[in-house]
Structure 1
Amino acid sequence: MGSSFGGLNTALTSLYAQRRGLDVTGQNIANANTEGYTRQRVDMQAQVGSLSTAMYARTDGLGTGVAVSAVQRLRDEYLEHRGRAEHGASAYLASQSASYTAIEDAFAEPSDTALAAQLRDMWGGWNDVANNPQLAAPRSALIQQSATVADQLNAAQDSLARQWSQGRTQMSAYVDDVNVTAKSVAQLNDSIIMANASGLTVNELEDRRDLLAMKLAQLTGATTAKRENGGMDVFIGGSTLVTGKTTREVAFVGASRLLDQAADPVGLVWKEDASQKIQAGGTMGAAVDTMTAIIPGLSADLDAVADNLINSVNAKHRDGFSVDGSTGLDFFGRNPDGSVTVLIKDPDKVAVSATAGTLDNSVADAIADIGDAADGPDRQYQSMVGQLGVSSQGTTRRAEIQAVVTEQVDAAREGESGVNLDEEMTNLLTYQRGYEAASRVLTTIDSMLDQLINRTGLVGR
């Protein structure tokens, strides 16, 4: 049968367990607003009395109290993996949408001062020249309007180049951030693995690691996998970034200017082997796609519009005759750096006639008609801007839908792992009452033992 003093130990184990429950509940309440914190729960189990018997030793089969078997971290791994995937997708679309918005701002269409309006004004200038070929004022105004068109084309290209350069600079900062974060994950892996081997609770360390893993998912679309020893492996594009306490470093290589992008494409690679390109997602994946496809594509399309303008105007202008009898002159050209410029500076050099010594205005009239041509630069530019608008709108809508999905997943994650203060207050009262009851049991047994030890057998002395 059980010892007379066994009840003291039973009550004492309850005191320890209820106090642990109070400590964990207090930790939950203290971190209710801590980012990345996962609520914890004390798992208790009844202690079983010894089942071994001997000739002169018997047991009544009663338990010996309660023990805290674990402090459980209430986090759903499926929801965590889903959350990282959705955050990575959301970061990718949000970054790409922001890039499209910046590009649209550069073109500023539709607007009374944007390129489309400037082209219309220029063709109107050619009409004015055709209507008044003998006057110098319309030709002077035409040269100025054409220079404005050239400046607008150059400004749009410069804006695309600046945005590309800004992305290049930002990628360097992202790369440093990823490498530092990966090392932090590896250090936490080392601490968690050693703590698990020693039987220690590492819930707060795992919270910090999950927060860093989410950051990597947003930056690169990283995925994770846990090992039996508690370590976490992190992957980017299917390749390992972190395994245990070992990390690999990423680097961003390639051209430093948009003009050199075609010959030396930029990309994310592993530092120890630059030949291995990394197919990243998240913010960095969007930035790479913007720098390798979106901006270069738009720059090429804009360059094609400029070529169309230059070639179509020059083809007709070269065959015409100016007021002073000049012929064979190009109206538009390119500077050594590739920018568009107006070659005609003298109004008397503007070709207006098909034959020398006449003012038949046929050349000026033909050039003015380029603005309405189905294959002219205006239609080509409108098609480019229209496609840009469709792509931008589509990306923005996808980003908005993805943001809603991400919020829903986050709500599910928060419902599983977030701290509910009402629930914690209930747990607080539960453990408080349990502690008080265990204290009463301990006091009662102490009183009984006092009676037995100090007052039994005093009669007749």
Structure 2
Amino acid sequence: MLSTFHGLETAKRGLSTQQAGLHTTGHNISNANTEGYSRQRTNMTASDGFPNAAFNRPGIPGQMGTGVEANDVQRVREAFLDVQYRAENNDHGYWDAKHEALYKMEDVMNEPTDDGLTNTMDEFWNALQDLSSDPEDSGARSVVRQRGEALAETFNYKSDSLEQIQSDFGNELSVNEDDINSILYRLDAVNTQIAEVEPHGDLPNDLYDQRDLLVDELSGHINISVERNESGGNAKDSAEGAYTIHMVDNDGEETGIELIDGENLDYNQIALEYADDEAVDAQNPPVTGVSFTNEALVNTDYDTAELTNADGESREAMAIEDFFQSSGSLAAKIEAYGYAEGGAENPDLANVQGDFPEMMAKLDEMITTFAAEFNEVHESGWSLAEINDGEKANDGDGIAFFTFADGANAAQNVRVSDAVRDSTDNIAASAAAEDGEAAEEAFAGDGSNALALANVKDAELDFDGDTTDVQSFYQGVIGEMAVKTNEAERMKDNTGSLLESVKQNRDSVSSVSLDEEMTDMIQFQHAYNAASRSITAVDEMLDRIINQMGIVGR
């Protein structure tokens, strides 16, 4: 027959198991607002029946239940939703960073507004047309000079502002690089803790949550895939193991770069490679590659260069065009800041690409082409000073209206020439050239060259192979920027909506529902009370047997 104390043991198991369920529920409720927390559940199973199958088993009707056991406390998490979330987070991270860069560029270009470059050029043309009507008027000449200086200063401001924002993005890249390396360091630390706990049969659920939160954050910066490595030892089947994290391209294929090695508990670090400052003669040298400091975790078919850091340690550098095969916020910020293809050893510095370098290059091309044409017309005409002297200045070459100070960027260094700034009499408003030939003489009341200068706005110019007038060229530049910004904003909103949708699906599985937890708490409480009442009943039975039976005849 069964032991007299069998009922006590069964009820005791019920007490301890329901108490474990209550503790888990309390932990869930306490972390209802904790970022990245996944709700946990106590897995309960019926304990082994009594007796076991054997020849000497007691003669009872059959196996009797022995109660319940709490096998483990497991978090509720759907791995497929994690993969979806990280893919969408990577896309959203790219387009969010892309939109931020283009939006800041739009703020600088500020078109169409009263302070924009288009309006400044229109005022310059209008001043020249006014001068053509009265070329001897000193007031009209002063206005032309002022409008010319305003035009040059607008180019200076636009280019300076773009370069400053580009520099800010360079600083942000450095911060982004440090953030990624910090995430990788912390991931390795949590991986190591998990690998130390799991072989003992425990499930470090809170460490799992910390690790997944870091992986989510990393996925916004770099496109990654996650592989699990079993811990071994006495690890439970539900143990999640250490993560190995690979950098993958936009098709999901591995690039050969391991960021986290879960098998050997090792991790990588990244470092952006820049062109030499002297080689590019620029405030913001372009990115030429991305290096990985842990050579043991680099095994790639992409072109890499052997580099040595300041400590003499070897590292691998992936060419920037190969790194762009993997999207994320880091790639978008590099694209905005500027980069040179060709690898870290032999970058193509003559063709620096990127949102800000390309916009500054277009401004340089615009002012260089425009100023060359404008100066050619201006130099062919006659100024009041030249008319009074009876000969052309500069040994017959004439006077330039715009000049460029020393510097790499034309838009930053364009100026009204010293001759025009010193005296408005040096503005060549008279004697427009005919058939490309400058007039041999001129008179003060002739404003034909001022009109020719105003007509430069409609002249067909060669902008690096594209033949158009200066205003149409600029409108094309602004239009292209607007299209890119709108596209980035649309993709940012779309990826944000998809990310939010996946997040809601994941939260519906993993997040804490206070209503559900309160229901569980009441359920566990009643089960605990029932187990307690069962112990009381068995206790009363034992009291009857021990204290009140077999006392007849005493």
Partners of 1:259 and 1:17 lie apart in 2 by 72
| 1:3 alignment partner in structure 2 | 3
Which aligned pairs between 1:37-56 and structure 2 lie closer than 5 A?
37-49=37-49, 50-55=51-56
| 2:446 alignment partner in structure 1 | 360
Deviations 1:1-52 (A, max 9, x none): 4222222111111111100000001111111111111001111111122423
Moved more, 137-146 or 326-335: 326-335
Question: CA offset at residue 386 of structure 1?
Answer: 1.1
| 1:348 alignment partner in structure 2 | 425
Which aligned pairs between 1:265-280 and structure 2 lie closer than 5 A?
265-271=287-293, 273-277=315-319, 278-279=323-324, 280=326
Partners of 1:35 and 1:224 lie apart in 2 by 21
Identity over the aligned pairs, expressed in percent? 30
Question: CA offset at residue 256 of structure 1?
Answer: 8.2
Contact 1:168 1:256 in 2 (8 A): no
Pairs aligned (count): 461
AA at the equivalent of 2:478: V
Which aligned pairs between 1:86-235 and structure 2 lie closer than 5 A?
86-229=88-231, 230-235=241-246
| 2:492 alignment partner in structure 1 | 399
- Give the 3-state SS of the residue equivalent to 1:161 in structure 2: helix
- Give the 3-state SS of the residue equivalent to 1:321 in structure 2: coil
| 1:439 alignment partner in structure 2 | 532
Relative to 1, partners in 2 of residues 1:253 and 1:387: Cα closer, same or farther, differing over 3 Å? same
Contact 1:320 1:351 in 2 (8 A): yes
| 2:260 alignment partner in structure 1 | 242
AA at the equivalent of 2:477: M
Greater RCO, 1 or 2 (C-alpha within 8 Å, sep 6+): 1
1:378 paired with 2:471, answer yes
Partners of 2:170 and 2:448 lie apart in 1 by 49
| 2:544 alignment partner in structure 1 | 451
Contact 1:222 1:281 in 2 (8 A): no
AA at the equivalent of 2:330: M
Deviations 1:201-253 (A, max 9, x none): 21111011111111111233443232233111223344211112311111122
Question: CA offset at residue 291 of structure 1?
Answer: 1.1
AA at the equivalent of 1:253: E
Which of 335, 345, 364 in structure 1 is aligned with 2:405? Answer: 335
Give 5+ residue unaligned stretches, structure 1.
none
| 1:287 alignment partner in structure 2 | 333
Partners of 2:56 and 2:504 lie apart in 1 by 61
Partners of 1:225 and 1:334 lie apart in 2 by 58
- Give the 3-state SS of the residue equivalent to 2:552 in structure 1: coil
Question: CA offset at residue 54 of structure 1?
Answer: 2.8
| 1:253 alignment partner in structure 2 | 273
Contact 2:401 2:416 in 1 (8 A): yes
AA at the equivalent of 2:71: S
Partners of 2:475 and 2:10 lie apart in 1 by 84
AA at the equivalent of 2:457: G
Give 5+ residue unaligned stretches, structure 2.
232-240, 249-254, 294-313, 339-353, 387-391, 433-438, 461-467
Contact 2:126 2:454 in 1 (8 A): yes
Partners of 1:200 and 1:431 lie apart in 2 by 23
Relative to the length of structure 1, the TM-score reads 0.95
Contact 1:266 1:288 in 2 (8 A): no
Question: CA offset at residue 259 of structure 1?
Answer: 5.7
Partners of 1:267 and 1:304 lie apart in 2 by 27
- Give the 3-state SS of the residue equivalent to 1:442 in structure 2: helix
Contact 2:229 2:242 in 1 (8 A): yes
Relative to 1, partners in 2 of residues 1:284 and 1:264: Cα closer, same or farther, differing over 3 Å? closer
Structure with the higher fraction of residues in helix conformation:
1
Partners of 1:227 and 1:58 lie apart in 2 by 48
Contact 1:95 1:286 in 2 (8 A): yes
Relative to 1, partners in 2 of residues 1:190 and 1:31: Cα closer, same or farther, differing over 3 Å? same
Which of 296, 302, 306 in structure 1 is aligned with 2:363? Answer: 302
Contact 1:122 1:145 in 2 (8 A): yes
- Give the 3-state SS of the residue equivalent to 1:224 in structure 2: strand
Question: CA offset at residue 103 of structure 1?
Answer: 0.6
Let me know the Cα RMSD of the aligned residues. Answer: 2.0
Partners of 2:189 and 2:157 lie apart in 1 by 48
Relative to the length of structure 2, the TM-score reads 0.79
Partners of 2:104 and 2:286 lie apart in 1 by 24
- Give the 3-state SS of the residue equivalent to 1:72 in structure 2: strand
Question: CA offset at residue 86 of structure 1?
Answer: 1.2
Contact 1:189 1:231 in 2 (8 A): yes
| 1:23 alignment partner in structure 2 | 23
1:314 paired with 2:407, answer no
Partners of 1:168 and 1:307 lie apart in 2 by 27
